[in-house]
Amino acid sequence: MAGAQWALLVHPTTVTVAIDQLEKGGLVIRVPHPSDRRTILAQLTPAGQELTERATVSLSEIGFCLHGISATTATRVTADLRKVREALGDLG
Residue 23's pLDDT is: 98
Q: Percent of the chain having pLDDT more than 70?
A: 89
For residues 80 and 9, the model is more confident at 80
For residues 62 and 35, the model is more confident at 35
Would you mind telling me the total number of residues written for the chain in this entry?
92
Question: Nearest 5°: phi and psi at 39?
Answer: -110, 140
* pLDDT tens per residue, range 3-57: 555 666 788 899 999 999 999 999 999 999 999 999 999 999 999 999 999 999 9
Q: What is the pTM of this model?
A: 0.66
* Residue 75 pLDDT level (bands cut at 50, 70, 90): confident
The residues spanned by each domain of the chain are 7-45
* Residue 1 pLDDT level (bands cut at 50, 70, 90): very low
Question: Nearest 5°: phi and psi at 44?
Answer: -65, 140
From the CB of residue 84, how many other CB atoms can be counted at a distance below 10 Å?
Answer: 12
Contact partners, residue 27, CB within 8 Å, separation at least 6: 44, 45, 47, 48, 51
Q: Residue 60 and residue 92: Cα distance in Å, rounded? A: 24
